[in-house]
Structure 1
């Protein structure tokens, strides 16, 4: 927990990310936040629109995060941390990265999870995606990047709700609920939203240092419980999708063999990794007393983390020891994923 939480702020062009960022930076809770702004193209303009709250805290860096920028991002994050260590900038407690509207979030998430130095000092707290309520449906229909941005989000923030028609907002919320049922949908009031609503949406709560698995996995929001197959295995899946992208949860009641599960996930990633947009899981592994947390993006998986406690089932008040794997996939059905993992686990 000594690592610094990183929030990735994304959303398609014109969705209102910069407006939201300006309001966030004016909030007292964001006083100790470093900000990295990246733009598309050789000449960036967004940095001119970001209000300079503190020159020592706000880091502005031009360059595209949607293609071969991972090396530049690693350099920027390393430099930022070294300046903090050397006292060249004030202490900061968290980092917020605003991406270009054309960005595929996957390279950013890959970098945060894969680079050894970065992962030693930073941890992914969550992905916040801003969606324009007035034009969001049209954007989702026309721009595949916007679909992926919404699909991998931990929080979906609807902007421009004051100028959008109520029926357009309702239709957009229904579309987003189908695309990413596990992500809470929030409305920004003229670009304003409370930092507490979008920060600490990852696995750990900084105040309690305990796993907020219910908020992280939100498996219950994915589907109604559906039972089939083996006695100790059931799957949550209502086949919710947005054309090619869907979210679903595989649940195993009995402890699983970690090596077998890892082998199954490795097989899945080696054959269809590009279509595994995101995975978040809590695992009850045999011969492990504590739960294991796992998350990955496409071909990259973060090493599992040992959690201090089991999450509590709100219905019973007892520890919930089920294994739950929440997938967001593209052109990859729940049945296909279940076959691969079922074979590996000998179910």
Structure 2
């Protein structure tokens, strides 16, 4: 039986993984191979936070999108991911869902892609039916250099990549991009690198990742640069705090901006990611909120509501080694009515 290839889409918090997937999956195919890649792809998404956001931006792309429950993929990989892949295979076999010929797994921003590699090799049911076909890691063109310096997870994701995609190149100067390219070349010399505006179509990108992972000597050489790149910090992402807040009524825009500004000043450099869907007063639809470190992106992108008229808002705040009580106090003070949403795993993720 021919095994189904699985490609991991990785990248640190806010790097642009979902944006890349959206672009690839929505691209108009020009060949039969490109059409086949789109038609036969199952997408599994995993998010950090009690409320999923990123899947709202991609559910319209394909019917075969599965959102795994809140939590870190490398923690849940033996349970939820295994069950999702097992169920998808059986559902396709019994024609409950369209047949699929490949799987894309988008991990959380702090997940270790090695967890997927390990599971596919040692979980019997999956090992007989699926195979690891490489890792595509998205690196933030604006903050990637800093993240590689400060976060072991970012280095691990770059080290295990078969393809590296540098995002946000239009927001970064040429010299900074060149320095980032040098750093990535030193960390992972065997990965194929693309800038986001020059990424090939999905079929070609998946083929490149698969070809790289199967390159002679790659597995033998990998430990040689991995040892140098991963020289500090602990393997697991202890100390990552996840605060999920929701509001049942529309928010005042100026007070929301003030709260976010206060949070960024207070938590820098501990603030890793800010994301959510916010319905402002006097607005006709919600907008997406997307921030990385101290940078908050424009609040003008409509959030796909899928007919949602609840006028509710939610926000996920992800921090490193910073107390969660402080950001909670800011939002409760400036935006009264905040409800603390607790995921099954809890709002604090630690080893």
The answer for unaligned runs of 5 or more in structure 1 is: 204-211, 223-234, 247-273, 275-347
Q: Report if the CA contact (8 A) 1:33-1:95 is conserved.
A: yes
Q: What's the counterpart of residue 132 of structure 1?
A: 140
1:246-270 per-position Cα deviation (integer Å, ceiling 9, x unaligned): 9xxxxxxxxxxxxxxxxxxxxxxxx
TM-score by length of 2: 0.58
- Structure 2 match to 1:104: 112
**Aligned with 1:31 (options 23, 32, 39):** 39
Shift of 1:119: 1.2
Superposed CA RMSD? 2.7
Distance in 2 (alpha carbons) for counterparts of 1:236 and 1:7:
21
SS in 2 for 1:42: coil
Partners of 1:155 and 1:176 lie apart in 2 by 11
Does residue 195 of structure 1 match 2:202?
yes
Kindly indicate which of the two structures has a greater share of residues assigned to helix.
2
Cα offsets for 1:155-195 (capped at 9, x unmatched): 111111111110011000000000000101111118x6421
Equivalent residues of 2:40, 2:101 under 8 A apart? yes
Contact 1:126–1:200 (CA under 8 A) maintained in structure 2:
no
1:217 and 2:243 matched: no
Higher RCO structure, 1 or 2 (CA under 8 Å, sep 6+) = 2
Q: Deviations over 1:243-296 (max 9, x none)?
A: 5449xxxxxxxxxxxxxxxxxxxxxxxxxxx8xxxxxxxxxxxxxxxxxxxxxx
The equivalences for 1:114-153 within 5 A come to: 114-153=122-161
Question: What displacement does 1:26 show?
Answer: 1.1
1:89 correspondence with 2:89 = no
Q: Structure 2 CA distance, aligned partners of 1:240 and 1:80?
A: 36
Q: What's the offset of the Cα at 1:202?
A: 5.7
Cα pair distance change 1:48/1:121, threshold 3 Å:
same
- State the Cα deviation string for residues 119-166 of structure 1 (Å, max 9, x = none): 111111111100011111011011110000000111111111111110
How far did 1:100 drift? 0.4
CA contact (8 A) 1:38 1:62 kept: yes
Match of 1:62 among 62, 65, 69: 69
Q: Structure 1 residue 102: deviation in Å?
A: 0.9
Equivalent residues, number: 222
Cα distance in structure 1, aligned partners of 2:5 and 2:23: 20
- Give the 3-state SS of the residue equivalent to 2:74 in structure 1: coil
Q: 1:23 to 1:51 in 2, by over 3 A?
A: farther
Q: Is the alpha carbon distance of 1:215 and 1:72 closer, same or farther for their aligned partners in structure 2, counting shifts above 3 Å?
A: closer
The change in CA–CA distance for 1:51 and 1:75 in structure 2 (over 3 A counts) is: closer
Task: Determine if contact 1:151/1:180 at 8 Å carries over to the other structure.
Answer: yes
Which whole-Å CA distance do the structure 2 matches of 1:36 and 1:45 have between them? 14
Name which of 79, 86, 89 aligns with 2:87. 79
Question: 1:42 and 1:175, CA in 2 relative to 1: closer, same or farther beyond 3 A?
Answer: same
For residues 205 and 62 of structure 2, what CA distance do their matches in structure 1 show? 22
Instruction: Say whether the 8 Å CA contact 2:68–2:81 is kept in structure 1.
Output: no
Alignment partner, residue 184 of structure 1: 192
